[in-house]
Amino acid sequence: MRNVPVVAKGKDYVFGQNLEDVAKFVGLQGTGHKPLSPPELIQRWTTILRTAQRVIRQMPDDKITGNVIDNRERTIRFLSFHVFRIGEAFLECARDGQDYGVQLANVPPDDGAYMTGGQIAQYGESTIEHLQQWWASLADKSCTAKVTTYYGVQPMSQLLERSTWHSTQHVRQLTAVLERFGITPNGPLKPEDLAGLPLPERLWE
């Protein structure tokens, strides 16, 4: 086991990234969650990433190398970059056939690159373009093809949903950071942007 969360019973365990797998592991008949369809997810993800661009552009350049929260060594710069890197990691798996390893979405920005909110938002523009190009050329928009991840072989639709809400949760966090700096977010997330995504209730879970 190289990543959390994990649910274990004795020597048996299951990764917590797929809640349906967890439900089956503990003897439940599913979670009751009805995922959004892949077309809905790609549209929602685009909206989320556009929101991320607006929020990240507002980040003060003199704050961007500070930590997101006091009790974790993760900078605002890294988390802002990570929001979009999640998209590139998804494409490397879904489009290019690479295994979705535990660190694939955690590749950091190059040293000295993406040092301002504007630069990171521009990187986000390329991510959005790549996602849209992939979706436009995708023959099977039901995303039933299987992909290999560190938490097992999954339908591509599951990784698409996970990637969408993963970006969304971090945009929620970055919005809270911006508000902590006394800056009113420009076009923050709306309730309808979050509806239907299996997000944690709290910001820092």
Q: Could you tell me if 62 and 93 are in contact, meaning their C-beta atoms sit under 8 angstroms apart?
A: no
Torsion angle in degrees (nearest 10) through CA of 64, 115, 104, 56: 50
Convert the pLDDT of each residue in 84-97 to its tens digit: 999 999 999 999 99
pLDDT at 45: 98
Q: Where are the domains of the chain?
A: 1-32, 34-194
Tokens of 1: 């086991």
pLDDT at 131: 98
Convert the pLDDT of each residue in 1-56 to its tens digit: 566 567 777 777 666 666 666 666 667 666 666 899 999 999 999 999 999 999 99
Residue 88, Cα to own-chain centre: how many angstroms?
Answer: 10
Please give the CATH topology (third level) of the domain spanning 34-194.
Answer: Four Helix Bundle (Hemerythrin (Met), subunit A) (1.20.120)
How many other CB atoms sit within 10 Å of the CB of residue 95?
Answer: 15
Q: Which of 150, 186, 192, 159 is nearest to 1 (CA)?
A: 150
Convert the pLDDT of each residue in 68-77 to its tens digit: 998 889 999 9
Rounded CA separation 32/12 (Å): 24
Convert the pLDDT of each residue in 118-134 to its tens digit: 999 999 999 999 999 99
Is a pLDDT exceeding 90 seen at residue 152? no
Of residues 127 and 200, the one with the higher pLDDT is 127
pLDDT at 81: 98
Q: Could you tell me if 86 and 105 are in contact, meaning their C-beta atoms sit under 8 angstroms apart?
A: yes
